[in-house]
Structure 1
Amino acid sequence: MHFGILGETRAWRDDGAEVPLGGPARRALLALLLVHSGQVVSVDRLTEEIESGTALSAHALQSQVSRLRSALGPVVTIERAGAGYRIVVADDDVDARRFERLAAEGQAVLRDGDTGRAVALLREALELWRGPAALADLAESETARAAAVRLEELRLGALEDRIEGELRLGEHRAAVPELRELVGRHPLRERLAGLLMRALYAEGGQAEALVVFEKTRQHLADELGADPSAELVALHRELLSADPSPSLAAPPAQLTSFVGRAEEVAEVADLLRVARLVTLIGPGGVGKTRLSVEVTEVVADDVCFVELAPVRDGAGLPRALLGALGLRENGLHMEGGPQTPVDRLIAALSDRVLLIVLDNCEHVVEETAALAARLLATCPRLRVLATSREPLGIIGENVWQVRPLDGDAAVRLFTDRAGAARRGFAADPRLVRRICAALDDLPLAIELAAARLRTLDVHDLAERLDDRLGVAARGNRTADERHRTLRSVVAWSWDLLSEPEQRAARRFTVFTGGATAEAAQRVCGTDGETLEALVDKSLLEVARGRYRMLETIRAYGAERLDEAGERESARRAHAGRFLDLVRTADPYLRRAEQLEWLPILAAEHDNLLAALRWAVEAPRTATALELLASASTYLWIRGVSAAVAPYAVTLLDAIGATPPDGLGEEYATCVLLAASDRPTWQRHRATAQSALAASWPGTRAGRYPAALLLWMMRNAIEADPQGAFALVSSQRDCPEPWARATARYVSGFDPLSGGDIAAAERTFGAAVEGFRSLGDRWGTALALDVLAGLAGGRGDRAQAIALTDEALALTGQLGALEDSADLLVNRGDHLDDPAAARADYAKAADLARRAGSSTYLAAALRGLGDIALLEGALDEAERLYVEALERIDPHWVKSLGNRVRTLAGLGRVAEERGEHSAARGRYREAAEAAGPPGALLLLGLPEALVEAVSKR
């Protein structure tokens, strides 16, 4: 039997039939017993509260109990116990108890990140309410009023949790009206105001969201004489200023009109609204990519467009997606650990509403299928639109066949493109139809043919095209569709080029990801006029200052490059051009011009990798070493050094233990870039340190100053930390100013380890000034972070926060999500306001998740664990600490402080529980992780924590 007290008291049998309960007194009796189900309710309370103003006699009460037993039947027990009565029912048989269970489960699941399930549980809980929580049959009862207040508060909390989940799922628009009504009825409830602000902001209503904050602030001041909470103030600050966020790769800009597929765009868009994976399949040149671009224009989700054509093999897929998402692979302090690019993708996409377009999957179709399946399984709000010559072949895939244009659309496309090539173009539609039919109505073939009308009459075009039909018809029937239908079109278009145009086109195929005009002219050995001619003839396209070549044409041109015997010379010219680029850019990356040069190098990232791959495989050892070393500063600042690690490992395997003559510093930098491979690092570390020391004797400058800083950070907790520190510190009088600033930074740790805080601060301050005088934001932020830790350690929290805020502004300019997360955790550590600290830790966790950074997420979880411990929530603190400990990588110096804090936090949890033996064990682990007692000071740990760890 089931009972309802959320509204009028009612009872139903298991078959759904309602049980007649009788008059008000009997309903009130049942309501009182159900409010306290499983507990004894005294006779005195029952007789006083069943009817307002008239107490029942004991005999009358006994009579009502008897009649209620008869109404409910033998399936429900109402037993006499001591001086009262008790009803024995399962908790889930009472709607209020079931509501409480479902609401609590929904809240817990929401906290754990399973948003879809949480929303379903919370909706189920709220649907149990049939009216206000007034317990109508006990309207005047003191018990009823207390129960009503408690249940109403739980209902509001469940409503807030449900709306929180819906906002995470992207249901902002539907939530706004309900939130407006709720905020109107509960103007002092800050969480509702915050949810409304978030929903309005997500719908583009930033100004409205700010108005909500101001009204809430005024209500709090007028009614309670209080200010808004730290969480609401933090949300207000976020609305006023944009946070650093990854820039999604947008679909390529289109230079021509879209002809003939309007209905397909609408149908594919509708399919994507109900399906999470749609694959557009069809032959090469049929228009799959263009259709996918047009679909993204009508889909409401954010869109990330991933071009897979440059990806050489399946191993590069996750990094290509990371790059398209705008996510760096490392942070300022060089996060390490075993986390894979796929793990980072899952962490970044787990709770994000996004449509990812995977374009040109056919050459890596198996690996793409595996990656798409895993992402879709672990990221419930993600959708994927793929283009390929064949289906991915995974469960849940919706395959959409992209077919050639119908006859009328093909004629319209040809006429449109011909009009662009020749002003006033007009031709017999039947002739145009014959041309299009000969081209199989494939859009790319039609566009290439129409472009020829710049130099040919339409009748000449038809004749030449007719001459080519036999070639296509007699092609290899076992070849893929692209080569059976488009090879003849591309070959014919190619044959119409002049020799200088053909040479430029085939040499252009060595570029990956396009090229600037200057790079194309140098590598192709051509001039701007020839490049423009190739654009006019649709062999190249130009957008946003870069030339690009369609992949079909690029594949054909690459074959022609091999036939001409020019691949080696073109690759050599390509590598030489990008070696010159990184050599030129490198010194500017440590100056104020770094914001100008970083985007330039980022645009050429794929070309840099292609040049490096050729140099390693050729092999061209000297070129490969110089490419790696010259690009190292860019790779480290942008956090993408993991992309070159495999090449660095391969190169070191080929070189062996002896650096090439004159390239010792390049060799050492290569070892640093390969350091994530522990065996390689162990084999080459000692030789690399000797080579680096020889290159930087202190009296003259080496070539790659950033290697000094990274060498110290990599070796700070390795076998010879003192040697690494001494090497960098020896550059105090080096003629290279960035190296001098780095030496000051490293030298500051010497007085710090001896307890001379003032001298350490002076030295780190000099490092800040050194980096700042050069305009380098990276080094400045690094040194400011240490100064902030020292200020916090001596109790000057205001100064620590000010310095951290300054560093955060710099990392924001660099677009460093991970570095911003790290600094937010540090600021949270300095704050004495637990609510504000929690907001910083939570924001850091969000940034770390968006960046897919396990180490910085661990730091944020550790901070949240500290807050939970402070509030006495020992179980929650332990859960957060354990999760943080699982994510921390012990091999990186930046992880050391958080590891010590986490272990000490677990010790404090055990101590609070009275588990003194376990506490001592955790403190011992923390002390061993920290190393010598002086190392605790180097970590900038609070005095209380140092004292706790020292208990070991």
Structure 2
Amino acid sequence: MLFGILGETRAWGDDGAEVPLGGPARRALLALLLAHPGEAVSADRLADAVDPDGTLSAHALQSQVSRLRKALGPGAAIEQAGAGYRIVVPQEDVDACRFERLAREGRAALRAGDPGRAVTLLREALGLWRGPALAGLAESEGARPAAVRLEERRLGALEDRIEAECLLGGHGGAVPELRELVGRHPLRERLAGLLIRALFAEGGPAAALMAYEETRRHLADELGADPSPELMALHRELLSADPAPAPTAPPAQLTAFVGRAGEVAEVAALLRVARLVTLTGPGGVGKTRLSVEVAGAAGTGAGVGVGVGVGVGVGEVCFAELAPLRDGAGLPQALLSALGLRATGLSMGGSGQAPVDRLIAALADRTVLLVLDNCEHVVDEIAALAARLLAACPRLRVLATSREPLGVIGENLWPVRPLDGDAAVRLFTERAGAVRPGFTAAPEVVRRICAALDDLPLAIELAAARIRTLDVGELAGRLDDRLGVAARGSRGSDERHRTLRSVVAWSWELLSEPEQRAARRFTVFAGGATAESAMRVCDTDGGTLEALVDKSLLEFAGGRYRMLETIGAYAGERLDAAGERAAVRRAHALRFLELARTADPHLRRAEQLEWLPRLTVEHGNLLAALRWSVESPDVRTGLELLAAASHYLWIRGISASVAPQAITLLDAMGPVPDEAVAGAGGGGTGEAPPWAGLGEEYVLCVLLAASDAAGRPVWQRHRAAAGQALAAAWSGARPGRYPVGLFLWMMRNAGEADAQSAFALVSAQRDCPEPWARAAARYVSGFGPLGEGDTALADEAFGAAARGFRELGDRWGTALALDTLAGLAAGHGDHVRAVALTDEALVLTEQLGALEDSADLLVNRADHRVGGNPASARADYAQAAALARRAGSPTGLAAALRGLADMALLDGDPAGAERLYEEALERADPHWVKSVGTRVRTLVGLGRIAEARGERAAARTRFRQAAGAAVGTGADTPEALRLLGLPADVAACVVEAVSGR
């Protein structure tokens, strides 16, 4: 027999026929017994369910039980149990029990990362409901708790089902249902969070932010409470959603995919069992397009945390376009950029970690399909890097496209062949119809054209574009003339490549002179160009660019023009033949120098979120311009480019990407020039060098060179002269041109023996007319009184800095100042204010897409929470560790591990704490000032563990090591040590070790 209480109470016999239960009294009695199958229910509760007015006697209740027994027959046993009754039936026979089991299993599947199974289970569970639980008994005091419990679990199952459906891509369909549910339950924060995420996925942040604000207002009006930490974190995520960097998705395609659907499925299937697949074939055969389609089958390609992978079973897809690379030296940095990772955090400095190590750290625990497109010109470097990444990152898969195999053990090759005859005809017909609506032609003529083109997709598309001005018969005749020799004999890959080259050459010859000139000049761009940049550098107009798009020599998408690599190679040869390369590359460099100069002041103001993405998309062009200035060598343009782009490079955390060029420029300058040090021309003997008067640019070049471990010798060689140059630039009545140089100079010198001179130079700008420099100087000026123990004056200086940065709208500087203020507040014991300030800073770093900085701030917030809310602190440390791993930041991970070790020690687990401390010590860079606080606290923690074991000598050694690490930065007072993130007891321990007691 089956029973139902999720709606009107009903019973069905083994034959499926409904069992007549009689009147409402017996149904109420059965419902309450079934709400607790196998458990005793008191006579009073049963009587209340049958007769809420309280007039039912014990004899009358017994009579109703007897009648219910008779109605149910042998399908259920109702037994007397003490002062009440119980029903003995299998739990699976009761719909409420089946619902609760299915709901539990569905939630477990959701938490285990299997949303497909979760949706199936949860839909089955919710399908058991026919109406309100224990319908008709809501007014009964005895029945109300059971009804409330079941309705609450129903709502939880609804939330789980919607979340699982959203993970499967069903955000849009969930919005109406979520709106209705939130309207009925406005204070239920999980529902609000699901609605916010669904609205964001459907249409962006505006509607999602409005939904958050409505929920916040309801909570404040009804409960006088703020949103939960989870909902507030979601709000910060929304605020940072647009500018946050994410793995580069495969490029959007403007045309239908013809003829290779079967190959997509087969390559996707191969990737399920193989971790490295290389698509090989000649240029123009369609390797890139096939890789894009396979990536689309493998996952969403939309970045971190978005969607659920299908096909190959990946959660993330990252597409790295390698054609703009000139050589393999920039390969690791190109992949870091494709993954959306910054090289340094807000605290700056060079961590000394190689880009390859950061890649490994970032990919070690992630399930990613990495698409490496156009590998042939850097095949040796790709092979070595791919082998290393695959060995170190067990959940990584690589899909490469190349004209030759990578030659890595475990590589699976997939030769990409020309299209088959029918597919080639379809492709030509479709593309021709796009340029000439209503196009028709005899299939045999189209087939002859495609055969002459070896059925190469790119050649077919180029030829089809000519249908705009030629009829199909004329096109076939011209191709026969052009390819008559190639059309005879064998059709090996070399011949096919020559055929494509012939088609490109033929298309080229049909261009007008202005079109040829614009096309060959366009080849200097790396990663495409906006219309404005293309017209400037190519010395052309918009009509000519549009004509090149019409003729398939250029593509236009997302507001940018691009040129296919095969066409670009031919056009580049034409540029060399015309003898124009040097002049065009110079024009290109000057264009992007102008762009960087225009952007620089905006990066210190509220517009930084608008300008950072604009510079990010032009990063390849900025590097290409810098490479030209180094290769020329044009030292002056190179120095100006580095200086103009320096603020962008530091905020984005990619300063290490230009360190090799900065080092080369400094080497090209020869001996340190007096003219540069003076900041003006003249001052030396003989003719002034071309870099005369670029003192600030020289300083920024030195700082950028030092952002990579290889630049440390350069830093030591140029530091004194750079200091003089910076002082000269900022000592007069007029401020310098690049205020970020002052700030970076202080941060870089923080660990040097004569750091005080750098602090004094920057602090002297407190009344500077340049507002950003003034805010930076006020920030720096706080360190002096802090070291002397005057925390009130330090707090005033850091607060003035925060206000100055905030007034300008600079999130970067504001976050740094707020973090410092939080440290001071914690030092005074005001942990509530410290957490609030850190929360503000976190919102800003998330807007900047700074994963590493957010990880640092989470560690700091956890430090502020340890005393009052250890559970929240532990959660922050764990989240920081996850973010640091995603960012490939060993420094951030070391800090998070140190925090987790502190928690283990607090929980009475010294062995676990020691293991975590040792791992943190291994990851913390002893040469980077940013790691000092972590290193000191880790050493003190190890010392305390040794002390607790009675190992006094080992403990003293650890405490002295901690003191040495702290004093090496000039921090030898409790206040200065607290700024490094050390709590009062740790600072006291270090000071005691310094004093030798």
* TM-score of Structure 1 vs Structure 2, range by shorter chain: 0.7 to 0.9
Task: Please show how residues 729-748 of structure 1 align to structure 2 within 5 Å.
Answer: 729-748=763-782
Change beyond 3 A, Cα 1:760–1:475 = farther
- 2:279 matches 1:272: no
Unpaired segments ≥5 residues, structure 1? 1-161, 216-231
Q: What is the aligned counterpart of 1:901 among 934, 937, 952?
A: 937
- 2:977 matches 1:946: no
Matched with 1:157 is: none
Matched with 1:117 is: none
CA offsets 1:142-175 (integer angstroms, 9 cap, x no match): xxxxxxxxxxxxxxxxxxxx99999899545447
Q: Under a length normalisation based on structure 1, what TM-score does the superposition of the two structures give?
A: 0.77
- 2:367 matches 1:353: yes
Q: What is the aligned counterpart of 2:746 among 698, 704, 712?
A: 712
Q: Distance in 1 between matches of 2:485 and 2:508?
A: 15
Q: Distance in 2 between matches of 1:670 and 1:768?
A: 28
* Amino acid in the other structure paired with 1:681: W
Q: How far 1:176 sits from its partner (Å)? A: 7.1
Matched with 1:18 is: none
Q: What is the aligned counterpart of 2:972 among 918, 923, 933?
A: 933
Matched with 1:294 is: 293
- 2:910 matches 1:874: yes
Task: Please show how residues 212-291 of structure 1 align to structure 2 within 5 Å.
Answer: 242=237, 246-291=245-290
* Amino acid in the other structure paired with 2:692: D
Q: Distance in 1 between matches of 2:961 and 2:651?
A: 33
Matched with 1:910 is: 946
Matched with 2:957 is: 921
Matched with 1:848 is: 884
Matched with 1:858 is: 894
Change beyond 3 A, Cα 1:596–1:430 = same
Q: Give the 3-state SS of the residue equivalent to 1:644 in structure 2.
A: helix
Q: Distance in 2 between matches of 1:465 and 1:379?
A: 49
Q: Distance in 1 between matches of 2:159 and 2:948?
A: 34
Q: Distance in 2 between matches of 1:197 and 1:827?
A: 32
Aligned 8 A contact 2:237 2:846 in 1? no
Aligned 8 A contact 1:505 1:534 in 2? yes
Matched with 1:506 is: 520
- 2:812 matches 1:812: no
Q: Distance in 1 between matches of 2:489 and 2:750?
A: 63
* Amino acid in the other structure paired with 2:566: T
Q: Give the 3-state SS of the residue equivalent to 1:591 in structure 2.
A: coil
Q: Distance in 1 between matches of 2:285 and 2:836?
A: 58
Q: Give the 3-state SS of the residue equivalent to 2:543 in structure 1.
A: helix
* Amino acid in the other structure paired with 2:923: R
Q: Distance in 1 between matches of 2:960 and 2:738?
A: 40
- 2:582 matches 1:568: yes
Q: Under a length normalisation based on structure 2, what TM-score does the superposition of the two structures give?
A: 0.74
Q: What is the aligned counterpart of 2:647 among 633, 657, 663?
A: 633
Aligned 8 A contact 2:820 2:979 in 1? no
- 2:672 matches 1:672: no
CA offsets 1:903-949 (integer angstroms, 9 cap, x no match): 11111221222222211211111111111522424425221111222
Q: How far 1:734 sits from its partner (Å)? A: 1.5
Matched with 2:89 is: none
Q: How far 1:234 sits from its partner (Å)? A: 5.9
Aligned 8 A contact 2:107 2:118 in 1? no
Q: What is the aligned counterpart of 1:597 among 599, 603, 611?
A: 611
Aligned 8 A contact 2:236 2:843 in 1? no
Q: How far 1:678 sits from its partner (Å)? A: 1.0
Aligned 8 A contact 2:603 2:647 in 1? yes
* Amino acid in the other structure paired with 2:612: L
Q: Give the 3-state SS of the residue equivalent to 2:636 in structure 1.
A: helix
Q: Distance in 1 between matches of 2:398 and 2:111?
A: 19
Q: Give the 3-state SS of the residue equivalent to 1:732 in structure 2.
A: coil
- 2:720 matches 1:686: yes
Q: Distance in 1 between matches of 2:265 and 2:552?
A: 28
* Amino acid in the other structure paired with 1:345: L
Aligned 8 A contact 2:282 2:493 in 1? no
Change beyond 3 A, Cα 1:177–1:948 = farther
Q: Distance in 2 between matches of 1:165 and 1:641?
A: 44
Change beyond 3 A, Cα 1:168–1:504 = farther
Matched with 2:40 is: none
Q: Distance in 2 between matches of 1:884 and 1:257?
A: 51
Aligned 8 A contact 1:417 1:450 in 2? yes
Q: Distance in 1 between matches of 2:416 and 2:329?
A: 28
Q: Distance in 2 between matches of 1:237 and 1:768?
A: 22
Aligned 8 A contact 2:236 2:846 in 1? no
* Amino acid in the other structure paired with 2:251: P
Change beyond 3 A, Cα 1:886–1:750 = same
Q: How far 1:668 sits from its partner (Å)? A: 0.7
Q: How far 1:199 sits from its partner (Å)? A: 6.9
Q: Give the 3-state SS of the residue equivalent to 1:950 in structure 2.
A: helix
How large is the Cα RMSD of the aligned pairs? Answer: 3.3
Matched with 1:316 is: 330
Change beyond 3 A, Cα 1:545–1:260 = same
Q: Distance in 1 between matches of 2:170 and 2:259?
A: 37
Matched with 1:519 is: 533
Aligned 8 A contact 1:714 1:892 in 2? no
Q: Distance in 2 between matches of 1:773 and 1:476?
A: 71
CA offsets 1:473-525 (integer angstroms, 9 cap, x no match): 69999995674231101000000000000000000000000000000000000
Q: Distance in 2 between matches of 1:564 and 1:517?
A: 23
Aligned 8 A contact 2:529 2:560 in 1? yes
* Amino acid in the other structure paired with 1:682: Q
CA offsets 1:299-344 (integer angstroms, 9 cap, x no match): 2233211111112222222211111111111111115323221211
Q: Give the 3-state SS of the residue equivalent to 2:399 in structure 1.
A: strand
Q: How far 1:471 sits from its partner (Å)? A: 5.7
Q: Percent identity of the aligned residues?
A: 71
Q: How far 1:891 sits from its partner (Å)? A: 2.8
Q: How far 1:892 sits from its partner (Å)? A: 2.6
Aligned 8 A contact 1:303 1:355 in 2? yes
Task: Please show how residues 221-620 of structure 1 align to structure 2 within 5 Å.
Answer: 242=237, 246-299=245-298, 300=310, 301=314, 302-334=316-348, 336-470=350-484, 472=486, 480=494, 483-620=497-634
Q: Distance in 2 between matches of 1:456 and 1:904?
A: 81
* Amino acid in the other structure paired with 1:263: G
- 2:933 matches 1:892: no
Change beyond 3 A, Cα 1:524–1:785 = same
Change beyond 3 A, Cα 1:165–1:924 = farther
CA offsets 1:509-568 (integer angstroms, 9 cap, x no match): 000000000000000000000000000000000000000000001010010000001001
Matched with 1:88 is: none
Aligned 8 A contact 1:330 1:640 in 2? yes
Aligned 8 A contact 1:698 1:730 in 2? no
Instruction: Please identify, of 513-522 and 481-490, the stretch whose mean Cα deviation from structure 2 is larger.
Output: 481-490
Q: How far 1:569 sits from its partner (Å)? A: 0.9
Q: What is the aligned counterpart of 1:695 among 729, 741, 762?
A: 729
Unpaired segments ≥5 residues, structure 2? 1-104, 127-148, 192-226, 299-309, 677-690
CA offsets 1:683-720 (integer angstroms, 9 cap, x no match): 01110011011011163211110011111001011132
Aligned 8 A contact 2:735 2:769 in 1? yes
* Amino acid in the other structure paired with 2:463: A
Aligned 8 A contact 1:787 1:800 in 2? yes
CA offsets 1:7-36 (integer angstroms, 9 cap, x no match): xxxxxxxxxxxxxxxxxxxxxxxxxxxxxx
Q: Give the 3-state SS of the residue equivalent to 2:766 in structure 1.
A: helix
Q: Give the 3-state SS of the residue equivalent to 2:765 in structure 1.
A: helix
Q: Distance in 2 between matches of 1:204 and 1:405?
A: 33
Change beyond 3 A, Cα 1:164–1:639 = farther
Q: Distance in 2 between matches of 1:350 and 1:197?
A: 31
Q: How far 1:370 sits from its partner (Å)? A: 2.0
